[in-house]
Amino acid sequence: MRFLDLSALNLLEFKQVTAGWAEPLITAQGGPLLLAGETGGQQIAILTFDLRDSDLPLQIAYPILVASLLNWFTPQGIVQQPEASVGQPLTLTPPATADSLRVSLPDGSTRTLPVNTPTINFTETGEIGLYRIDALSAGEVVSSGVFSVNLFDPTESAITPQTTITIGDEEITPQAEGEVGQREFWPLVALFALILLLIEWIIYHRRVRRPVQFKPLNPRPESKRDRIPA
């Protein structure tokens, strides 16, 4: 219902329709106008009014509604993930008309999986290569899909610390932040030693540069012989 605006819709009448498997998407006073859901492996949308009893086909909301429903009705492929790593399980979605799935492995062998549930988990991904899946109905192929299994996983080289980890379908977050076990204090000790060296250097240079007053030692008295008359 994204981008859909029905605030200007004029409607003559609609019927009261309820379905336990459907979810009301558009509701007016008195009941839902549009319901959608899945039952028996089929997707169903229900308009509870006749289009001729409204001006919906004349509004811009009508093509948006049709496009949204067609996008929702588009059947999904058998394989939702085209690539996987070795040993990684995959979820397969068989068509509603399929009664079994045939998986062709890279070594040429095949596996047949009965369709008993809407989704099937396939875990035999131990070989690298291309896997082909055929959906069968009474022995005839009604849909096909492929996926590849690669040896290398990009997440193996992701060494950045993660805030959460996922085990199966469960995401686990830490309860409390871990404490740092070791702290280095050598920068403080080195700074203190540097300050002491600077103080010692300053004191030493002040002593060396102290001014000294020189005085003559034992000056010779002036004698009469040294006096020469002018």
Mean pLDDT by 10 residues, the chain (230 residues): 86 90 89 88 88 92 89 76 85 85 92 88 90 90 88 71 75 70 80 91 76 57 54
Q: How far apart are CA 43 and CA 49, in angstroms?
A: 19
- Copy the structure tokens of residue 193: 């030693």
Q: How far apart are CA 143 and CA 214, in angstroms?
A: 112
What pLDDT shows up at residue 54? 92
- Copy the structure tokens of residue 151: 């040896």
pTM over 0.75: no
What pLDDT shows up at residue 55? 93
Please give the angle made by the CA atoms of 31, 34 and 40, to the nearest 5 degrees: 110
Instruction: Name the residue among 132, 125, 131 with its Cα closest to residue 151.
Output: 125
Q: Which domains does the chain have, with CATH numbers?
A: 22-73 (no CATH), 83-152 (2.60.40.10)
What pLDDT shows up at residue 228? 54
What pLDDT shows up at residue 63? 92
